[in-house]
């Protein structure tokens, strides 16, 4: 025997992956319809986590299926430079060495990052490979490679030329720890209980949770309709005693103020609050910076200048208290604090000059109309050019776009694509700005030190990965020429599928739609499959900080094998819903792989050295039955894979392999042996299972050696008309055998004879039944009046001792009661005129038929009970 008794995944996986990769199976074939998708690029310095495993499992399953359908499939690998995250890691390493980026200088710092990335990039590549991902590594890309830099820069320049990218002075989210701006989407809000103060401010009472920002406040704002303050007019000035002494303040009336909240009056701090900024802009008010970029108070704070913002609150309150200006303190006030997603610092809004993408400017051509990128983003999903799975995310998507503001794309970190813009001091003040790769002519130009938001470059991923590096690196090529000169782009774009987590719908998916429609005039992908989060057994999020229940994919691969891990992740997988993963689940799938392995072992042992050609040649009843089941399974698996319902597809397949093939057909084959068909069923099963469990299926395929080619390159099974016929007879056998087993178990009759009313059909299959039930004999009963296969229990007359008969009778009585209930229920239903009139005809007919059948069964049951009662009385 060639196959060992147990499938040990780790003995085969690495070898198999190498065979696949060397064979060129991962690169698209020249023939066939194109099918493409990109791997959402993992962080180049990241470590593989179970989320990656889930992503790869889903995508690889789809990719292998499409490949087996004969398509020319491209799945593009790549890694992401993850600007802020990587920048932070390297800065931390520098700090440990007692230095920092400023001491090192920009160039040295970037060298440091590059070498750090290069080192860890290999790890993630290896780990993705270990998952069995059939990615085309010859086309691997990296978001920070030089070609990408060129593409990203060109897009920036193009957007600038079209007026979509502009330099503006606006309020942005400032992270004081990372020392950079972050986008709205990178800000989280955490609820916090804090003190809400009410202060006396001139003739007013104002409320605030942030006294430490109030130094420069010189406007009080109230709703114009608020009757309590109707004696004050807009623009009216007054004097107030405030933190650093007497100030002159002004009354502003604005509808943004909620009269219900607090006293209905507030002061504003435009420099450090988005809403205040808007009010100030509306009324053209002065704005003053209170807090510097390190989070310290500026000179405006007087003797408190230089104090850290976190420490300033008490000082300010004490000062006001000493002036008797504190009226009320509510210590139970709940509000949300803005926290930076990456740096975990409290976000301090600041007014800064930054680069923005204008989402409302109608300058983009789409389907013959000139529109804003916001409108196009809405339209492509609305028109169903792009389908989002599950559908309910459409609503979330639209809602996000409705609230979308101009996107701040400049970051003050060094690691990233440097902004291709140049500044020069203008005579008489101000700056002159030029946008372009090359330093402009003339003296005194300096390049913008800032870099672009990571998502600005990630947003180009669907098509930038399809542009060949040589074409992109040639400075003569414009963006349009790059697209035209790239055969991969022409063949594979738009991509067919984008598979990613719903948590980055906004970060990435929406922005890909934004950039791609603008630059290429095409949608980036046709279908978006949003998978859920991977959770622990108890439903908690898997995170580094709470490792309880967390699953390390690499450990699991070693312990149970890649296939087992992948199957556990695909099991129950449906778009948009979270999946729980834990060891028992993986172990169960390991057992499934082993089951498959042993099916193959059995078949192989049966064949010995015989050369068998797999053929769908059916001879016996059971043969037709298994062929039919195989056809139904193939149909079901294919249909669900087409719908991206991987969980369902696999469930159908697993039920077939375990329940039909192993438990029934293999058992039957021990009596009625049809080698060609047995081989055929195994051959087809391996094809069906390959997208889900590539390693074990390929290993078996190779060991059996029935065919020259690799399984990965083989064709997906096709269902032929007629494959589904002739199953009724075997279904009967299955039913009878099940029933026989059932009664036998119930009565614990190990050696009793089982008398059958039997027909010629039963007689013909007698050996089979004897074998399958393990019973010693089936005796034909001569008094048989013909066979009623449909009424299950009645098939068996059992000669048993009285107490066994009694328990059997109880069983019969239970059945009879159930049957009675059903009969009366059905009768009632049919007696209902509204039902017979209004329900669909087929349904009524069905019900009538069911009633008739049930009545026959009931009659039989009653007779049977009667005869048993008689029998018991006799003994």
Interface with RNA in residues 759-778 (CB under 7 A): 774
Q: CA neighbours within 13 Å on the CB side: how many for 686?
A: 30
Q: Which of 208, 684, 685, 758 binds RNA (CB under 7 A)?
A: 208
Query: How far is it, in rounded angstroms, from Cα 834 to Cα 846?
Result: 16
Q: Which of 153, 202, 264, 694 binds RNA (CB under 7 A)?
A: 264
Q: Is 753 exposed, middle or buried (0-12, 13-18, 19+ CB in 10 A)?
A: middle
Residue placing its CB nearer to RNA in the complex, 425 or 843: 843
Cα dihedral 700, 702, 705, 711, rounded to 10, equals 90
CB of 11 to RNA, least distance (A): 9
Q: Which is nearer to RNA, 433 or 844 (CB)?
A: 844
Restricting to residues 2-61, which ones interact with RNA according to CB under 7 A?
Answer: 5-8
Among 71, 101, 601, 620, binds RNA (CB under 7 A): 601
Name which of 425 and 810 has its Cβ closer to RNA. Answer: 810
Residue 599 within binding range of RNA, rule CB under 7 A = yes
Half-sphere exposure of residue 79, counting CA atoms within 13 Å on the CB side? Answer: 24
Specify whether the CB–CB gap between 465 and 141 falls below 8 A.
yes
- Binding positions for RNA, 165-194, rule CB under 7 A: 184-185, 188-189
Angle formed by the axes of helices 83-96 and 106-130, nearest 10°: 110
Sign of the torsion angle spanned by Cα atoms 406, 431, 417, 449? negative
The interface with RNA within residues 662-721 (CB under 7 A) comprises: 662-663, 666-667
Whichever of 503 and 713 has its CB closer to RNA, that residue is 503
Cα–Cα distance list, 404 to 159, 375, 384, 388 (Å): 18, 11, 21, 19
**Contact (CB, 8 A) for 692 and 61:** yes
Output DSSP code: residue 720.
P
Give the interface size with RNA as a residue count (CB under 7 A).
83
Query: Minimum Å distance from CB 482 to RNA?
Result: 33
- Let me know: does 493 contact 543? Beta carbons within 8 Å: no
Task: State which H helix or E strand residue 817 sits in.
Answer: helix 802-831
How far CA 698 is from CA of 122, 597, 845, 870, in Å, comes to: 26, 11, 50, 62
The rounded Cα 177 to chain-centroid distance in angstroms is 31
For RNA, give the closer residue by CB, 403 or 782.
403
Stretch that binds RNA, among 367-375, 417-425, 486-494, 589-597 (CB under 7 A): 589-597
Are 524 and 494 in contact, with CB atoms under 8 Å apart?
A: yes
Q: How far is the CB of 796 from RNA (least distance, A)?
A: 14
Using the contact rule CB under 7 A, the part of the chain among 136-144, 259-267, 319-327, 725-733 near RNA is: 259-267
The stretch near RNA (CB under 7 A) out of 271-279, 677-685, 711-719, 797-805 is: 271-279
Given a contact cutoff of 8 angstroms between Cβ atoms, the answer to whether 151 and 141 are in contact is no
Alpha helices, H only, 69-206:
83-96, 101-104, 106-130, 146-161
Give the whole-angstrom CA distance, residue 474 versus residue 147. Answer: 9
* Least distance from RNA to the Cβ atom of residue 183, Å: 10
Residue 104 in contact with RNA, rule: CB under 7 A: no
Site for RNA in 850-869 (CB under 7 A): 850, 854
Beta pairing class for 525-531 and 387-389? parallel
- Could you give the CA distance from residue 567 to residue 574 in angstroms, rounded to a whole number? 13
Choose between 613 and 663: whose C-beta lies nearer to RNA: 663
What is the smallest separation between the CB atom of 281 and RNA, expressed in angstroms?
Answer: 14
Smallest separation, CB 207 to RNA (Å) = 4
Identity of the residue, 194 or 244, whose beta carbon is nearer to RNA in the bound complex:
194
CB of 598 vs RNA, minimal distance in Å: 3
- Cβ proximity to RNA, 409 vs 467, nearer residue: 409
Is 5 or 707 the residue whose CB approaches RNA more closely?
Answer: 5
Q: Contact letters (x/-) for RNA, 447-486, by CB under 7 A?
A: ----------------------------------------
d(CA 617, CA 8): 33
State which of positions 535-554 bind RNA (CB under 7 A).
539
Asked if residue 228 binds RNA (CB under 7 A), the reply is no
Among 120, 288, 574, 672, binds RNA (CB under 7 A): 574
501 part of the interface to RNA, by CB under 7 A: no
Closer to RNA by Cβ: residue 8 or 119: 8
Q: According to the binding rule CB under 7 A, does residue 526 interact with RNA?
A: no
Q: Does 795 bind RNA (CB under 7 A)?
A: no
Q: Which is nearer to RNA, 527 or 598 (CB)?
A: 598
Which residues, 814 to 833, sit near RNA by CB under 7 A? 818, 822, 825-826, 832
Q: Does 126 bind RNA (CB under 7 A)?
A: no
How many angstroms separate the CA atoms of 813 and 188, rounded? 64
- The site map against RNA for 398-417 (x = CB under 7 A) is -xx--x--------------
Question: Does residue 392 bind RNA (CB under 7 A)?
Answer: yes
List binders of RNA among 306-335 (CB under 7 A). Answer: 335
Smallest gap from residue 794 Cβ to RNA (A): 14
Tokens 């469990």 -> residue: 693
Q: Which CA distances in Å does 668 have to 663, 733, 772, 872?
A: 9, 11, 8, 38
Alpha-carbon Rg for the chain, nearest whole angstrom, is 37
């Amino acid at each position: 025997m060639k196959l060992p008794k147990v499938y040990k995944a780790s003995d085969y996986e690495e070898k198999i992956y190498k065979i696949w990769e060397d064979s060129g199976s991962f690169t698209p074939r020249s023939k066939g319809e194109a099918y493409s998708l990109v791997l959402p690029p993992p962080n180049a310095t990241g470590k593989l986590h179970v989320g990656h495993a889930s992503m790869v499992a889903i995508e690889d399953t789809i990719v292998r299926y499409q490949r087996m359908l004969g398509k020319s499939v491209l799945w593009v690998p790549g890694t992401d430079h993850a600007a802020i995250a990587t920048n932070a890691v390297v800065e931390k390493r520098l700090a440990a060495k007692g230095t920092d980026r400023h001491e090192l200088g920009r160039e040295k710092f970037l060298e440091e990052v590059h070498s750090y990335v290069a080192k860890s990039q290999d790890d993630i590549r290896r780990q993705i490979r270990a998952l069995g991902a059939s990615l085309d590594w010859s086309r691997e890309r990296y978001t920070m490679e030089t070609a990408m830099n060129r593409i990203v820069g060109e897009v920036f320049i193009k957007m600038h030329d079209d007026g979509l990218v502009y330099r503006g002075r606006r309020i942005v989210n400032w992270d004081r720890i990372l020392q950079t701006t972050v986008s709205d989407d990178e800000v989280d809000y955490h609820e916090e209980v804090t003190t809400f103060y009410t202060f006396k401010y001139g003739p007013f009472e104002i409320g605030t949770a942030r006294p430490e920002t109030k130094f420069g406040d010189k406007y009080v704002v109230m709703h114009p309709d608020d009757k309590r303050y109707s004696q004050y007019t807009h623009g009216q000035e007054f004097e107030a005693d405030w933190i650093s002494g007497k100030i002159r303040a002004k009354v502003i009336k604005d509808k943004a103020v909620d009269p219900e909240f607090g006293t209905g009056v507030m002061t504003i701090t435009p420099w450090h609050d988005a809403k205040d900024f808007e009010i100030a802009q509306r009324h053209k008010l002065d704005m003053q910076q209170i807090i510097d970029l390190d989070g310290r108070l500026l000179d405006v704070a007087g003797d408190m200048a230089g104090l850290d913002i976190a420490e300033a609150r008490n000082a300010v309150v004490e000062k006001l208290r000493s002036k008797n200006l504190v009226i009320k303190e509510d210590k139970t006030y709940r509000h949300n604090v803005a926290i930076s997603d990456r740096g975990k610092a409290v976000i301090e809004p600041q007014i800064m000059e930054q680069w923005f993408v204008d989402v409302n400017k109608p300058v983009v051509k789409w389907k013959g109309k000139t529109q804003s990128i916001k409108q196009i983003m809405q339209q492509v999903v609305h028109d169903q050019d792009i389908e989002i799975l599950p559908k309910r995310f459409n609503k979330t998507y639209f809602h996000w776009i409705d609230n979308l503001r101009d996107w701040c794309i400049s970051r003050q970190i060094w690691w990233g694509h440097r902004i291709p813009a140049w500044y020069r001091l203008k005579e008489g003040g101000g700056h002159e700005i030029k946008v372009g790769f090359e330093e402009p002519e003339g003296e005194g130009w300096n390049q913008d030190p800032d870099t672009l938001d990571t998502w600005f470059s990630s947003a180009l991923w669907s098509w930038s990965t399809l542009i060949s590096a040589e074409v992109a690196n040639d400075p003569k090529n414009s963006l349009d020429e790059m697209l035209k000169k790239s055969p991969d782009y022409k063949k594979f774009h738009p991509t067919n599928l984008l598979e990613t987590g719903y948590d980055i719908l906004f970060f990435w998916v929406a922005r890909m739609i934004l950039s791609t429609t603008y630059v290429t005039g095409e949608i980036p992908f046709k279908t978006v499959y949003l998978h859920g989060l991977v959770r622990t057994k108890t439903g908690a999020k898997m995170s580094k900080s709470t490792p309880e229940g967390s699953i390390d994919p690499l450990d699991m691969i070693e312990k149970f094998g890649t296939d087992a891990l992948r199957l556990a992740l695909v099991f129950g997988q449906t778009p948009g819903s979270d999946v729980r993963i834990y060891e028992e689940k993986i172990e169960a799938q390991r057992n499934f792989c082993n089951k498959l392995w042993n099916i193959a072992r059995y078949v192989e042992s049966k064949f010995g050295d015989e050369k068998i050609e797999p053929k769908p040649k059916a001879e016996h009843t059971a043969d037709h039955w298994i062929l039919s089941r195989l056809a139904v399974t193939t149909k079901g698996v294919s249909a669900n894979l087409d719908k991206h319902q991987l969980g369902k597809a696999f469930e159908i397949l697993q039920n077939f392999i375990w329940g039909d093939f192993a438990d029934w057909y293999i058992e039957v084959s021990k009596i009625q042996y049809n080698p060609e068909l047995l081989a055929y069923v195994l051959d087809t099963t391996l094809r069906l299972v390959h997208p889900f469990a590539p390693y074990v299926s390929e290993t078996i395929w190779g060991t059996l050696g029935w065919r020259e080619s690799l399984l990965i390159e083989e064709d997906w099974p096709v269902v032929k008309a007629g494959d589904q016929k002739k199953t009724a007879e075997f279904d009967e056998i299955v039913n009878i055998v099940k029933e026989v087993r059932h009664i036998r178990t119930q009565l614990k009759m190990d050696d009793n004879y089982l008398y059958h009313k039997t027909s010629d059909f039963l007689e013909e299959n007698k050996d089979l039944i004897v074998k399958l039930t393990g019973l010693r004999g089936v005796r034909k009963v001569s008094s048989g009046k013909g066979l009623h296969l449909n009424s299950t229990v009645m098939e068996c007359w059992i000669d048993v001792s009285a107490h066994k008969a009694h328990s059997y009778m109880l069983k019969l009585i239970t059945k009879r009661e159930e049957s009675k209930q059903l009969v009366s229920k059905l009768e009632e239903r049919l007696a209902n005129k509204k039902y017979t009139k209004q329900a669909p005809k087929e349904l009524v007919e069905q019900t009538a038929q069911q009633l008739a059948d049930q009545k026959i069964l009931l009659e039989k049951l009653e007779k049977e009970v009667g005869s048993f009662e008689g029998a018991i009385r006799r003994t």
